[in-house]
Structure 1
């Protein structure tokens, strides 16, 4: 850490702190009031990495790091959603450049490691990256359910459930999703939301 330039560390911290004040735009686009910020979403995912017990074959520390890095580029490019109509290839290019900028602040040891974590998450080829992607989707569905309940807007955020249908790979997370969907469906039919 002593080899890191203090000015660059402050730049990095400034970028990371942008996420505490940056909106999750999907909720904004759906007119959800008082919704989470990007850092709140990343925090929720990071906490869920503790679902991995000591007997898990997945590397819990790696999952935690992937959760904390996965949306870091949004500190520069913002939260780009499908409604923005930016081609997926262009979005990935913008985020990759942002990650290069962010990680360049962290020297020759930490920066490349953080960039490699980002690339691992994007590729979704390792079991840890696949698990964290499931956490990403699950956190979104959990939040959608919360907002529907809180705002008494039954079914308003169905598009999030539809967009993730059949995409969960981890058995445990998939079970959580099914329980969440069953609970939501019951509450919808009983008029509780």
Structure 2
């Protein structure tokens, strides 16, 4: 753990010490690079930037959810959804080889990470992470939709981004981002427009 290199004072209340230790540990999220390029700089985004961007998207795009959602709860989901990647690392959406064993890696990482917190909070954050992964509530479905939409926007802003990196076809992009239309018909329509235009510009491979 990061806090082991400079342990917090032993005089702190135990619960607070565990919470602060967790907060220090998830600073690792700022170092986990994603495949997506930034729109504003010539570098890749990190997981912390991605999670912040999703939280803002929830606030701005909640009106497009097909079913009413609790905005605050959805923000919690997107803030927690990638925390396990401090140990498991990011898995690029279009990298089939990297996806092998992803679920097992992330489950093991969740076991390790959330155990750092006091038991009640560890269980609460684990439940949020499980909810996001299961995608059975309106909030989790919309959170997942935005998790797919955000890198799509970054790919558009970089003339194809990871679509070109991994040689994705337009059909593959639509398949891998189907969660968007499942939560929001309006955003699903927007995705089809974006991907169609990207294909015309040569930013995806033409589907067979």
TM exceeding 0.5: yes
Quick check: 2:173–2:195 contact (8 Å CA) kept in 1?
Answer: no
Q: How does 1:40-55 map to 2 (within 5 A)?
A: 40-50=49-59, 51-53=61-63
Q: How does 1:50-89 map to 2 (within 5 A)?
A: 50=59, 51-53=61-63, 57-81=68-92, 82-87=95-100
Quick check: 2:19–2:118 contact (8 Å CA) kept in 1?
Answer: no
1:42-74 per-residue CA deviation (whole Å, 9 max, x = no partner) reads 111111111224x97111111101111111100
CA shift at 1:10, angstroms? Answer: 3.2
Match of 1:174 in 2: 188
Match of 2:152 in 1: 141
Quick check: 1:63–1:128 contact (8 Å CA) kept in 2?
Answer: yes
Structure 2 length as normaliser, TM-score?
0.72
User: In 2, Cα distance between the equivalents of 1:14 and 1:176?
Assistant: 39
Moved over 2 A (4+): 8-11, 80-87, 155-158, 160-164, 178-186
CA shift at 1:129, angstroms? Answer: 0.9
Match of 2:3 in 1: none
CA shift at 1:35, angstroms? Answer: 1.3
Q: How does 1:82-121 map to 2 (within 5 A)?
A: 82-87=95-100, 90-121=101-132
User: In 2, Cα distance between the equivalents of 1:36 and 1:86?
Assistant: 19
Q: How does 1:125-136 map to 2 (within 5 A)?
A: 125-136=136-147
Quick check: 2:174–2:192 contact (8 Å CA) kept in 1?
Answer: no
Structure 2 residue matching 1:11: 3-state secondary structure: helix
Structure 1 length as normaliser, TM-score?
0.77
User: In 1, Cα distance between the equivalents of 2:150 and 2:189?
Assistant: 14
User: In 2, Cα distance between the equivalents of 1:135 and 1:160?
Assistant: 21
* Cα RMSD (Å): 3.0
CA shift at 1:101, angstroms? Answer: 1.9
Q: Structure 1: state its 5+ residue gaps.
A: none
User: In 1, Cα distance between the equivalents of 2:196 and 2:98?
Assistant: 32
Which of the numbers 113, 119, 135 marks the counterpart of 1:124? Answer: 135
User: In 1, Cα distance between the equivalents of 2:173 and 2:189?
Assistant: 14
